[in-house]
């Protein structure tokens, strides 16, 4: 009986704390309907499981990413795949209707990004750096950078109430060295949810089992069965943390870092809020030394 | 008991008829947050009272229309006024966040118009002609023209399901003669709802009692009290149907037309569906000979 | 031997005349890969048969014109169909790579039109009026208008030698009345080549047997066999000359006009060369009274 | 002595009247550095001689209008010619630095037009109609139309104080019939200043004696001497008022109209102030019956 | 008589020296009407006091920078504040009429920058780097970079005579590290004029005492009285030179550098003239070792 | 007889080898009609002499690059000079008709670059980095970067068949340090063809003997005679490889590097294919240790 009372008590405390600590709002921007997934999918699952709210936004509708389909027909398939992926990740998934391969850093697009960030009341904004191999990725980086600070200016996009504070803007990890290499400030171990990430990513069938294998000449190596496909994707996407990420993991996870198999790294963009270590820990509650 | 049975019966018949005849969906586009009201406000009230659905869309946020305010501050006031006006008209009111005085016929804006029309599943689309005294009015006319037909093309704005049929596009009445005068095909007597139209329009305080009187040098003649203001606005906006409108009214209302004090005229745009007389009567059920 | 001499003689005379009378260069602009065909296909066949040179230019690649395909995939099909149609018409067919449904009257597009006209050394330029039901059609009209006169200015598009004289610009026939109705100055009887026109148009399979029937809800009425399809298309496209066209035909053909079953009308654009009756007869050698 | 007193008296009266009646401010827009001259040069001289202020604004720098020069080199020549022409006309002449042959109806250009009108505190604005043979002419017409009304809106081009009243906007005469013919509301007899107009126009040497004769194949017919050139230009530009202009002249000049050899006609644009007959007489003080 | 000779002599010497050493022309670009002041205000005062000419140019009108005002209304306030600040700094202050928060690196804007630099006959051009927290700042950096070199090309902006030599372009100091940190080549001690800088900056009341404190949640801490405001601003803006600036100061000032309390640093942009040490000393005559 | 057999045999072997090793396709992009020449002219000659195919593409027509000419007139001169240079280099030379000094990173321009790369079936693409002293150079860098990867996407520029593999993209050498210095991965000794490079470059007379000397105040030092001009140009353009290039040369040429007088360096862009050492040797067959 006492046990039950204790449990009830602890439940109430939890609820009380939850009431005190609002869930975090995380928004991730990608150029195409599978980019957020690759860049921050594991972290998103972890946030989601802890009761926080995550939104993925693709700035293009992906209507150029296939060898045998295209246009509105393809866009509709990719939007449906993104919706399914969102369910699997436990996140909301929005696809903006810009042509794939034609994303430009216009004011119009910047304002769309500003409104998405405001409507999500974001604490954390994640996007690619403005250097990456695909022009749409680079201009996604530019557009999200250009939304930083402007999200708090009431006269800009006056139809959508501004945020009270500039959120933390983070760059997702990439391998590019020029003009300066990616330097992770935060890195999240996603081993526990790696399989779920792969399963969620697999919802983008037209991408991971059609288009991308085709571009690398591997279309014939893609398994036909569900299980085989998940293994294929897991092998393809499995990449040990590199040296810089490993160093970063150690900072946040201590000894645990050494065994990490899968991680997602993030660099703090200088144009958003510059969080302290304490703030980072509050914003990334999954970062914990054992 | 019999009474109850009768009531039930009549209820069932109503529901059955309702099932047969879906409510009409009417969408009106204007350049500024008071333009739809002036152009089609009375007709909108009539539609609304008959159970049909009407939406007003302002393509700009009206952030230039004042002598002592401007920008986001003004936009917020005008959006709030529009929401209030919408309630009084019995319509949904949407204000797009484009700068007042800067509306351009871009593809981006055209796509926004296409999506609005599709999402409203519109049977009737109303907009100004591309000739009028204000450039924003003219480009509103161009943008809505440019949306005609495209609303049925699935590959355009693929994120929003296309309409099955091109709706009827109507121009709202204006006094301009070049390159050709406005020629009403449809005209609606709004005498019964004229006072409601004036009351609803009066929600745009910053316009009808501040800005527009200021531009004509009449700011000092604007009454301060509610009643006085409504009279002021009613006098200002009271205009006997002109010859062309009167002729048109006769076609649709017969003898009743002669006594009409207030009417709203519409010309069928050649780029949308060309309705037969029967279809017009279905689409404008308030057009009735005594 | 005498026969041979005669033949040689007549050959020389032909060559001599040919040297005197260069073949005419006719260029037709349409918005989509089937528009030139509909507007001026019969006239093009007649020109071509007389040894004159005709070019069709579609300003968009048609990548939005289908209900089940789109993008680059559809563009490639439509380009192939256009090439086949070109062969059947006896004309050169060029498809510019602009998105269907997104044609805008940019300077960039105007310069492309200027270069096409110059490179073809055009005597006659044909395009839609800037009023028509499809925005791409209207902007095709604007773009070709905007190329008139500029084709003779050496400093514009300096990489392509200018024409020495502004060609005759003609609008192709349409049914629109506002701001002013189409008024044919020239009309060509195409009865002799109507079947060839239909056969050539039928090369645009994705349009005439898929997309356009779909938009009008007639997809199920399209025959599957070649012969049936040609009849279906011929019936659909068969339209007796209207009153204005008939009047125009009389001017050029005299009594013969009364029996004409199929004609293509053209209005002289005020922004190009204004040809005299004699010049029109030289430019349209098929216009002949019996 | 009495004579002197009389003179002094009349001088005082003149000054007094001058104080009462401010000089009118007239601004004329053209696409190229010689267009204002052709369209309204005679009228401008008459205004100027009566003490009113006239400004000519060319929206492009004319850098494409020659067969053997181009770019900045040509622009500098044309700007210098315009300055000289301005002196001869008695008007201020401004040349905006847009490329000739590339004028587009952008917001940026519209704002430049708005500022010019405001800074000149214009009572009268003259510009071509949006239909004419040269795209730059048409877009000049569009840009000036788009400035009408906006010149009184304080939130637009906020760096330049707005006008208190929308000026009268006039279209200058052209010969184009579609979509509707030019209809003069005002016409000015310029016989007394025709020679001065020709002399002033002759300042645009690169145009009237080089480029335009070249485009019509008459370069070899251009005289080399000053006197010959003036005669050549006077003959070329001499055109009896057409029927519509003649009718209009009669309204304003009465019997005198019949003998008019040279006139400039203007049509009132519907988007500016609509002046009464009395106002027109005040705005065009040279309109006088004998 | 001798006195007169002496005077004449000294006059001649002055004139001769003046001929040798013209005053320097310095132009500073900022995104908003207070940015030049912060970046180079102290240096500007020093130049001005030595008889050199300084111009501040704000590329936007600042019409978004407030929480309770906006648009043209705010722009007019900010222009007036800038004019007052210009007086206090001893510089000319120009505000271009672009919307705040919407500055884009267009060709149009680049040409405006080119003309400003040319008209000022600039020896030195100062602007932010293309990396900073506000998109308007970044695009100001891009626009001024894009004007470098082009200022000497006569065919570009042909209405404004080109400079004979590419000026020295300098970046003003910022704290951003990516893609590379700011590296001062020149640093100016402004201790002697720091109070004047603060007083001049204080002219931007809507910024330093309204908007910026509001964005950081400090609006209630802003003093109401003049003296208190100056202290508040001085404390806020007081920042000891960082290590890199200190090193740079030593190069130019020697031992004096160690005591410097306030300094403004500048990095030489690679796209303008690369000055030698001697040239830097001539261009920055306030750089002097004791 | 045996000799003939031997010859035939060797011929067959040659043909067989030729079948195995197709000639390489190299495409070089520059902003102006002389930029490719300077950046990669020597390397182009070497490729060409070995039987490989090289194309130079200038993204602007160079119509602003002179002090006494401009516009279309200058463009035509520069196009002719480029054609002549192409002959001397042994390469194809294409000049796109964009205004010099106005190149912007538009989607339209990017698509032109994509089509050029595809039509040339390029193995190697060379362009400037997006940091250089001239805005046209920088935006050439951006445009070519933005074409990388997109060249393999079939839905983009669907009228031109995509490449099967992303080519190697190389930056040509520059001296700029920010945001990061040029780092050569490949460097080619051009001593053997330096004189040919100078002779080919000399075809751009308007540049190397007019405009560029004028900008540096050296117009009077330009020799009038052919021989003198070549010497003048050779001296001007003679620059010993810097330290970084020398290091790179050693990697590829071994000891031979030490004596190199003239070299052209290239840095591998991260956005194209990342070639292995073996692949680099195949792509640059002139890189050989003795």
- pLDDT band (50, 70, 90) for residue A10: low
pLDDT at E290: 72
Q: Do A61 and B159 touch (CB under 8 A)?
A: yes
Query: Using one digit for the tens of pLDDT, what is the confidence trace for D27-54?
Result: 999 999 999 999 999 999 999 999 999 9
- Please tell me if residue C81 touches chain F, with a CB cutoff of 8 Å: no
Chain D residues closer than 8 Å to B177 by CB? 270
DSSP state of C173: P
The verdict on a CB contact (< 8 Å) between A70 and C68 is: no
Structure token pair of residue A3: 């046990």
Among left, alpha and beta (phi > 0; psi -120 to 50; other), residue E163 is beta
Inside any domain, residue B262: yes
By C-alpha distance, the chain A residue nearest E132 is: A271
Q: Please, which residues have CB within 8 angstroms of residue A104's CB and are 6 or more apart in sequence?
A: A139, F107
Q: Is F69 on the interface with D (CB under 8 A)?
A: yes
Specify the CATH number for the domain of residue D169.
3.40.50.10320
Per-residue exposure over B167-186, b if at least 16 CB sit within 10 Å of its own CB, e if not: bbbbbbbbebebbeebebbb
pLDDT lower than 50: segments of chain B: 1, 14-20
| Minimal C-alpha gap between D37 and chain E (Å) | 20
ipTM of the complex: 0.92
Task: Give the CA angle between residues F25, F28, F31 to the nearest 5°.
Answer: 160
Give B211's DSSP letter.
I
CB contact under 8 A, E156 and F104: no
> Which helix H or strand E contains B208, and what residues bound it?
none
Cis peptide before D179 (omega within 30 of 0): yes
CB of E149 within 8 Å of a chain F CB? The answer is yes
Query: Do the Cβ atoms of B143 and B105 come closer than 8 Å?
Result: yes
Residues from chain D that touch F74, judged by Cβ atoms under 8 A, are: 70-71
Tally of domains in chain A: 1
CA distance C192 to B76: 66
Compute the nearest-CA separation of A63 from chain E (Å): 27
Residues of chain F scoring pLDDT < 50: 1, 13-20
* Chain D contact for B286 (CB, 8 A cutoff): no
**Nearest CB to F178: which of E152, E153, E180?**
E180
Which residue is closest to B175 within chain D, CA to CA? D270
Interface residue B73 vs chain E (CB under 8 A): yes
Instruction: Say whether F30 sits in a helix, a strand or coil.
Output: strand
CB atoms A71 and B108 under 8 Å: no
CA neighbor of A153 nearest in space, from D1, B211, B245, E101: E101
How far from the centroid of its chain's Cα atoms is residue A280's Cα? Answer: 17
pLDDT band at A290 (very low <50, low <70, confident <90, very high): confident
Q: For residues F282 and F290, give the distance between their C-alpha atoms in angstroms, rounded to a whole number.
A: 17
What is the per-residue pLDDT for E9?
53
pLDDT band at residue D239 using 50, 70 and 90 as cut-offs: confident
| Per-residue confidence (pLDDT) for residue A1, from 0 to 100 | 45
- Backbone φ and ψ for C258, nearest 5 degrees, come out as -60, -30
State the Cα–Cα distance between residues C283 and C279, nearest whole angstrom: 6
Q: Supply A151's token pair.
A: 């999200």
Chain A: give the shortest CA distance to residue E171, in Å. Answer: 18
Instruction: Tell me which residue in C74, C101, C176 faces B153 most closely, judged by beta carbons.
Output: C101
Strand order in B168-172's β-sheet? B92-95, B53-58, B25-30, B124-127, B168-172, B263-268, B186-189
Please tell me which of the candidates C63, C71, C108 has its beta carbon nearest to residue F108. C108
What is the residue whose two structure tokens read 């693929």?
B158
For residue C13, pLDDT over 80 is answered with no
Please report whether residue F12 resides in a domain: no
Residue E289 CB contacts under 8 Å (≥ 6 apart), including other chains? E252, E253, E254, E255, E256
Half-sphere exposure in the Cβ direction for B287 (13 Å, CA) = 21
C18 within domain boundaries: no
Average pLDDT along chain E: 94
Cα within 13 Å of Cα(D2), Cβ side = 0
**What is the pLDDT, as a whole number, of residue B3?**
61
Nearest to D179 among B100, B179, B215 (CB): B179
pTM for the structure as a whole: 0.94
The arithmetic mean of pLDDT across residues C188-215, rounded, is 98
Q: For an interface test with E, give the residue of A110, A155, A171 to mutate (most E CBs within 10 A).
A: A155
* Confidence category of residue C15, pLDDT binned at 50, 70, 90: very low
Angle CA(B160)–CA(B161)–CA(B164) in degrees, nearest 5?
Answer: 140
Establish if C99 touches chain A: CB-CB under 8 angstroms: yes
Q: Residue D132 pLDDT > 70, yes or no?
A: yes
Per residue in E209-230, pLDDT (tens digit) is 999 999 999 999 999 999 999 9
List chain C residues with CB under 8 Å of F75: 158-159
**Would you say residue C143 has pLDDT above 90?**
yes
Portion 102-141 of D in contact with B at CB < 8 A: 107, 110
Residue D142 lies in a domain: yes
Cβ of residue F99 closer than 8 Å to a chain D Cβ = yes
Q: Where are the beta strands (DSSP E) in chain D?
A: 25-30, 53-58, 92-95, 124-127, 168-172, 186-189, 263-268
Residue B59's nearest CA partner among B161, B141, B154 is B141
Q: Are A126 and A28 in contact (CB under 8 A)?
A: yes
Residue of D nearest to C273 (CA): D133
Q: Yes or no: say if E196 and E45 are a contact pair by the CB < 8 Å rule.
A: yes
Task: Count Cβ atoms below 10 Å from residue F241 Cβ, excluding itself.
Answer: 21
Alpha helices in chain E (DSSP H): 2-20, 35-49, 71-89, 107-119, 135-147, 194-201, 205, 212-215, 226-237, 243-253, 277-283
pLDDT at E5 over 90: no
Mutation to test the B interface, candidates A81, A159, A161, most B Cβ within 10 Å: A159
CB atoms F177 and E270 under 8 Å: yes
* Residue E18: pLDDT over 70: no
Q: Is residue D85 part of a domain?
A: yes
Neighbours of E259 (CB within 10 A): 10
How confident is the model at residue E19, as a pLDDT?
Answer: 44
Nearest to E119 by CA among E160, E165, E168, E60: E160
Cβ proximity of E250 and E189 under 8 Å: no
Strand runs (DSSP E) across chain C, as ranges?
Answer: 25-30, 53-58, 92-95, 124-127, 168-172, 186-189, 263-268
pLDDT value at position D19? 45
Q: Is the pLDDT of residue D272 over 70?
A: yes
Residue D282 makes CB contacts below 8 A (sequence gap 6+) with none
What's the rounded Cα separation, in Å, for the pair D109 and D141?
Answer: 12
Q: Which helix (H) or strand (E) holds D196?
A: helix D194-201
For residue B267, the Cα-to-chain-centroid distance in whole angstroms is: 13
* Confidence (pLDDT) at E10: 54
On the question of pLDDT at C53 being above 60, the answer is yes
Q: Which domain holds residue D127?
A: 23-283
Kindly state whether residue F152 falls inside one of the protein's structural domains. Answer: yes
For C4-49, the three-class secondary structure string (H helix, E strand, C coil) is HHHHHHHHHHHHHHHHHCCCCEEEEEECCCCHHHHHHHHHHHHHHH
Distance (Å, whole) CA F186 – CA F167: 16
> If you search the block for the tokens 């001017």, which residue do you land on?
C251
What's the rounded Cα separation, in Å, for the pair C285 and C279? 10
Q: Which of B70, B78, B101 to mutate to test the interface with E (most CBs of E within 10 A)?
A: B70
CA distance A273 to E133: 10
Q: Which of D73, D211, D214 to mutate to test the interface with F (most CBs of F within 10 A)?
A: D73
Q: In the block, which residue shows the tokens 């032909």? A: C14
- Residue C270 sits at the chain D interface (C-beta within 8 Å): yes
CB contact under 8 A, C70 and B149: no
Confidence of residue A22 (pLDDT cuts 50, 70, 90): confident
Chains B and C touch (3+ CB pairs under 8 A): yes
Nearest to C75 among F73, F96, F159 (CB): F159
Q: Which chains touch F (3 or more CB pairs under 8 A)?
A: A, C, D, E
- Chain E residues in contact with A150 by the CB 8 A cut-off are 101, 134-135
Q: Note the pLDDT of residue C19.
A: 45
Backbone angles phi, psi at D258, to 5 degrees: -60, -30
Alpha-carbon span C134 to C82, nearest angstrom? 20
- Distance, in Å, from the CA atom of A109 to the CA atom of A115, rounded to the nearest integer, reads 10
F145 class by beta-carbon count within 10 Å (0-12 exposed, 13-18 middle, 19+ buried) = buried
Q: Residue C13 — φ and ψ, nearest 5°?
A: -60, -45
CA angle (E194, E196, E202) in 5-degree steps: 105
Q: Does A73 touch chain B (CB under 8 A)?
A: yes
Quick check: B131 and B176 in contact, CB under 8 A?
yes
Residue E82 and residue E204 in contact, taking contact as beta carbons nearer than 8 Å: yes
Residue C230 phi/psi, 5-degree rounding, is -65, -40
Q: Show the CA angle centred on residue B62, arms to residues B57 and B64, nearest 5°.
A: 160
If we measure between CA atoms, which residue out of F76, B112, E73, E259 comes closest to residue A111?
B112
pLDDT category, A5, cuts 50, 70, 90?
low
Closest partner residue to B159 (CB to CB) among A79, A111, A159 is A79
Domain presence at residue A255: yes
Using CA coordinates, name the residue in chain F closest to D74: F70
Residue partners of F255: CB distance under 8 A and separation at least 6: F289, F290
In this predicted model, what pLDDT tens digit does every residue of E155-213 receive, in sequence order? 999 999 999 999 999 999 999 999 999 999 999 999 999 999 999 999 999 999 999 99
Strands F53-58 and F25-30: parallel
Phi, psi of F99, deg, nearest 5: -65, 135
Cα–Cα dist A212/A187, whole Å: 26
Mean pLDDT value of segment A108-120: 98
Nearest by Cα to F281 from F253, F259, F243, F242: F253
Is F108 domain-assigned? Answer: yes
Helix (H) or strand (E) holding F27: strand F25-30
């Amino acid at each position: 009986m006492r046990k039950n009372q204790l449990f009830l008590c602890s439940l109430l405390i939890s609820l009380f704390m939850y009431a005190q600590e609002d869930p975090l709002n995380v928004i991730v921007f990608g150029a195409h309907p599978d980019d957020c997934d690759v860049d921050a999918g594991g972290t998103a699952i972890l946030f989601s499981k802890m009761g926080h709210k995550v939104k993925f936004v693709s700035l293009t509708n992906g209507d150029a990413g296939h060898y045998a389909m295209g246009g509105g027909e393809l866009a509709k398939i990719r939007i449906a795949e993104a919706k399914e992926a969102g369910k699997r990740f436990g996140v909301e998934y929005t696809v903006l209707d810009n042509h794939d391969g034609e994303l430009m850093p216009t004011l119009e697009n910047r304002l769309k990004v500003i409104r998405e960030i405001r409507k999500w009341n974001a604490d954390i904004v994640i996007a690619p750096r403005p250097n990456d191999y695909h022009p749409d990725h680079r201009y996604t980086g530019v557009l999200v950078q250009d939304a930083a600070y402007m999200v708090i200016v009431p006269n800009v996009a006056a139809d959508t109430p501004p945020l009270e504070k500039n959120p933390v803007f983070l760059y997702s990890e990439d391998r590019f060295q020029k003009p300066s290499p990616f330097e992770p400030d935060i890195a999240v171990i996603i081993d526990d949810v790696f399989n779920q990430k792969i399963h969620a990513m697999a919802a983008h069938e037209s991408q991971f089992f059609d288009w991308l294998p085709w571009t690398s000449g591997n279309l014939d190596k893609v398994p036909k069965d569900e299980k085989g496909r998940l293994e294929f994707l897991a092998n393809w996407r499995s990449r040990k943390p590199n040296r810089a990420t490993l160093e970063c993991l150690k900072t946040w996870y201590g000894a645990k870092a050494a065994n990490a198999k899968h991680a997602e790294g993030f660099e703090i963009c200088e144009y958003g809020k510059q969080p302290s270590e304490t703030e980072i820990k509050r914003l990334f509650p999954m970062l914990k030394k054992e």
